[in-house]
Structure 1
Amino acid sequence: MRTERTNLIILEQWILPQGRLELRITQPEVMQLVVDHYKHETPIALGVINEEANANSLPCLRYATACRIIDFFQLDDNSTSFVFEGINRLRVVSTYSVSESLWKAQVIRLPNWPAYPLASEFELLSTALKYFYQENPDLLELYPDAQLDDANWVSQRWLEVLPIIDQDKQALLSQPNCQQAMSFVLKLIIEKQQ
């Protein structure tokens, strides 16, 4: 598979394809990357910090997401908040540090999970996600066009917000579609209700 180079921002939060994440950016080198992204379509990927990283491992988890910036807001403290939207799944092959908050990475672009109609056995996940967003209005604002009838969309939004061990998330993300993720999340929610 062919690798490509991208800029990488490493965070504690997950973002997956079609997901959205609002980030307050204050670091000058990341602001310059944002400017370059707008002017020249410079690629940006968001990855999750590898809490167990050592000198021989990646600073981020193996799966990241290519993103685009779809909106921005001036905040009360004169900093700027940007809304990132996930575009494509990536597998990180290697990285090197540009600064404390910015990396360069060699990545392999992976196919996104295909859309699936939400089967009746998984309707609970859609209903629970709708309720979750109502209880978290900041997240709800990011999704005016929530696709609650698409199993792929619903499963990825749950993977972004549920406190699941990162290794489990990575195992689910390595799958060719959302079927295992849907079953995994449904089991978690049912266990939580009991």
Structure 2
Amino acid sequence: MRLPLFPLQLYLLPGGISKLRIFEARYTRLVKLAMASSDGFGLCMKDDDKICHFGTRAIITDFESLPDGLLGVTIQGVDKFIINDYWHEDDGLHFGDVSLMDNWSKTEIRSIDRDVPNTLRVLLKEYPEHSVNYPTPDFEDMTWVCQRWLEILPLDTTQKQWFMSRNDHRAALSFLHGVIDEKYRNN
């Protein structure tokens, strides 16, 4: 699959929602291309000046004219992908040949893991800027919970890429138990 790429330090996983401000001509072009196709665009991170291997295919779900005259778009992550090759065109817009990866399967919450969604629920109440994008959160799906946690936590690019490369949520869940348990030991 060929996608226009938007390299940002934004970490968005399938099911994740975010808002972007579009102010460069090349990304206005990306928005036009994404709106003209059901494929959307590829959101990918950079490590120094190099585009990372894994990204998320995103679709535009809404757009608005912002008070400063810029274009605002709301995006939602759909699929993870791996970049096989990428290049940029004369206007600086990157494109990539990508292969879609399987998304993590919806997984029921086990009673032993209840602290993970419960602490996310508390965190989202404390920080409404994160929760505003999720009017109907799915605290009963461990995959959804793990992905939202990974989007919020201040992880370095290498860690984020590693989690994105996993086939399921189990590594993220194990990591999150360690983070949550550490927080409660220190309080």
Question: Could you tell me whether the CA contact under 8 Å between 1:33 and 1:42 is conserved in 2?
Answer: no
- Go from structure 1 to structure 2 and tell me whether the alpha carbon gap of 1:35 and 1:67 turns closer, same or farther (over 3 Å shift): same
Tell me how far apart the structure 1 counterparts of residues 55 and 8 of structure 2 sit (CA, whole Å). Answer: 10
Give, in whole Å, the separation in 2 of the partners of 1:101 and 1:118. Answer: 44
> How does 1:69-108 map onto structure 2 within 5 Å?
69-98=60-89, 102-108=93-99
2:14 and 2:56 in contact (8 A); partners too: yes
What is the correspondence of 1:1-194 to structure 2 with a 5 Å cutoff?
A: 4-41=1-38, 43-51=40-48, 53=49, 59-98=50-89, 102-193=93-184, 194=186
- Residue 42 of structure 1 and its aligned partner are, at CA, apart by 5.2
In structure 2, distance between residues paired with 1:164 and 1:22: 20
What is the alpha-carbon distance in structure 2 between the residues aligned to residue 126 and residue 156 of structure 1? 11
Distance 1:40 1:61 in 2: 24
Asked whether the 8 Å contact 1:27–1:101 carries over to 2, the reply is no
Instruction: For residue 143 of structure 1, report the CA deviation from its aligned partner.
Output: 0.6
Letter in 1 for 2:75: F
Cα contact 1:10–1:102 (8 A) shared by 2: no
Measured against aligned partners, the alpha-carbon deviations of 1:30-68 in whole angstroms (never above 9, x if no partner) come to 1122123223335301011113x4xxxxx2221100010
| In structure 2, C-alpha distance between the alignment counterparts of 1:15 and 1:68, rounded to whole Å | 12
How many residues get paired? 185
Query: Mind listing any 5+ residue stretches in structure 1 that lack a counterpart?
Result: 54-58
Letter in 1 for 2:72: S
Bigger shift: residues 85-94 or 100-109: 100-109
CA distance in 2, matches of 1:187, 1:135: 21
Report if aligned partners of 1:5, 1:104 keep a CA contact under 8 Å in 2. Answer: yes
CA offsets, 1:156-182, max 9 Å, x none? 111111112322222222221101111
| Cα pair 1:30 1:101 within 8 Å, conserved | no
What whole-Å deviation, never above 9, does each CA across 1:124-148 have from its counterpart, x for those lacking one? 1111111222222222111111111
> Counterparts of 2:56 and 2:110 in 1: how far apart (Å)?
26
- SS of residue in 2 equivalent to 1:142: coil
Query: What SS is found at the alignment partner of 1:29?
Result: helix
| TM superposition score normalised by structure 1 | 0.88
CA contact 1:7–1:105 (8 Å) conserved in 2? yes
CA distance in 1, matches of 2:83, 2:46: 12
Q: Which segments of 5 or more consecutive residues in structure 2 lack a partner in the other structure?
A: none
Say what the alpha-carbon RMSD is for the aligned residues.
1.7
Distance, in Å, in 2 between the alignment partners of 1:14 and 1:156 is 10
